[in-house]
């Protein structure tokens, strides 16, 4: 029974991480992106991230955060302060539609894991009632 609680709890934590990373990507989608032709270190440039679920040995899941490749795309935006002489600026490689789908998936997976914990709790209560 404890393994079931542990697996569902790890799922809750993984989906919380997925939602937080997606929200961070959306919040920073209009930030300055990494310039391919720029210096190696570019302070203030946002690198979007993705979350991959990795199965753990105990039957749960772990969320691994990885940078998106490529981290930025070039757009024509001469009004941006970070645009070059040709009016091209680098913006983070974030697709709003994909991020919204990711957030819906994370929400549904979170709800499923919470329901599994509730069910396991009810089964444990029933088992304890039978034994008493």
Q: How distant, in Å, are the alpha carbons of 21, 25, 51, 73, 116 from that of 90? A: 20, 15, 23, 5, 43
SS3 of 67, please?
A: strand
More confident residue, 7 or 104: 104
Q: What pTM was computed for the model?
A: 0.86
User: pLDDT tens digits, residue range 35-87?
Assistant: 877 777 788 899 999 999 999 987 899 999 999 999 999 999 999 998 999 99
> Can you state the percent helix, strand and coil of the chain, rounding each to 5?
45, 20, 35
Spans of all domains in the chain: 2-126
SS3 of 48, please?
A: coil
User: pLDDT tens digits, residue range 88-121?
Assistant: 999 999 999 999 999 999 999 999 999 999 998 8
Q: What are phi and psi of 60, to 5 degrees?
A: -100, -160
The predicted structure's pLDDT at residue 13: 96
Specify whether the CB–CB gap between 86 and 5 falls below 8 A.
no
């Amino acid at each position: 029974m404890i393994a079931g609680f542990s697996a569902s709890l790890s799922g809750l934590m993984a989906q919380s991480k997925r939602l937080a990373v997606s929200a961070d990507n959306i919040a920073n989608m209009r930030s300055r992106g990494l310039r391919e032709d720029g210096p190696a270190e570019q302070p203030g440039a946002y690198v979007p991230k993705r979350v991959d679920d990795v199965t753990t040995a105990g039957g749960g899941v772990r969320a691994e955060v990885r940078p998106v490749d490529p981290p930025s795309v070039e757009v024509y935006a001469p009004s941006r302060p970070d645009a070059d002489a040709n009016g091209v600026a680098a913006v983070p490689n974030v697709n709003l539609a994909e991020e919204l789908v990711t957030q819906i998936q994370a929400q549904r997976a979170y709800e499923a894991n919470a329901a599994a914990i509730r069910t396991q709790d009810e089964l444990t209560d029933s088992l304890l009632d039978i034994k008493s």
